[in-house]
Amino acid sequence: MNNYQAVFDLALKLGCKPVFDAPMSTKTTFKIGGNAKLYIEVYKVPQLSVLIKFINENELSYIVLGKGSNVVVSDDGLDRVVLHLDGDFKKFERLDENTVYCGAGLSLMGLCREAENCSLSGLEFAWGIPGSVGGAVFMNAGAYGGEIKDVVYSVRHIDRDGRVGTIKSSGLNFGYRHSVYKENGFTVIGATFRLKLDNKTEIRNRMEDYMGRRKDKQPIEFPSAGSVFRRPEGNYAGALIEKCGLKGASVGGAQVSPKHAGFIVNTGNATASDVKALIKKIQTTVKKETGYDLQREIIYLD
């Protein structure tokens, strides 16, 4: 029995849903990528604790994938275990008047909607960001002047030995698209947020305003992985790319969005190789013509 089969059997025994050779093109917002060696839907914290401990003891590589909104999966697929959080990981709970807890598997838009229903403000900036709460915490997602770090009180995680722990906001080392979870290898399983009571109608109006701006300026009608590059100091990636005449440029089925040059879209048949080649072309051209080194925000999964 190989190690992957052992993980598969354990997942079944625990009540999870394991699948060999799962197509990652159906699991990411870019709609790109080969098959994952083993894909497992996990529903409860104890299941995830046991699996992570077992996977690490067997020296297998693994990732936890949320909505798949900030990644480019290799055309050759992933020789690793992909864990997807469902079930209890999508639960939302109001702890007191202005504090809520939700699982890492809940979509960020789902969290925004729950907060609105509770007349709680502070997450309006995240309405329309196509990721999970776990992914948003992991990378300190932000938009329109707001960031996750502004509203997170604490984060629950599972370490590589399967132990559950908590880190409060002061220890999360938040920065631009960064958190301590990019350093420690732990898996985010949920987060507590401190928000502010407000008028529900006003919260809804702000959310719709942000969504309107997204629809006007971002290519949400095409598959993409969101903003491709980190914001360079003193400038904007989209503006630099457009200045270099690359708006609308393409490699295969991957195209620099004619709507917003900070995005690369899948026009229908893009491959991961197409995307990577286009990113390299952008970086080389922008460096040569402007002197700026554009750093990727999206993550390559190979």
Catalytic sites, residue numbers: 177, 227, 297
Burial class (CB in 10 A: 0-12, 13-18, 19+), 232: middle
Starting at the edge strand found earlier in the chain, the sheet holding 254-256 runs 224-227, 263-266, 254-256, 250-251
Largest CA distance in the chain: 59
Q: Report residue 298 as tokens.
A: 């999206």
Q: Report residue 262 as tokens.
A: 């900070």
> CA–CA separation, 54 vs 3, rounded Å?
10
Contact between residue 267 and residue 254 where contact means Cβ atoms under 8 Å apart: yes
Measured in whole angstroms, how far is the alpha carbon of residue 283 from the centre of its chain?
Answer: 23
Sort strands 299-301 and 71-73 into parallel, antiparallel or unpaired.
parallel
List beta partners, residue 18: 40
> CA–CA separation, 129 vs 141, rounded Å?
8
Neighbours of 55 (CB within 10 A): 24
The position carrying tokens 């093109």 is 25
Kind plus residue range of the DSSP H or E element containing 27? none
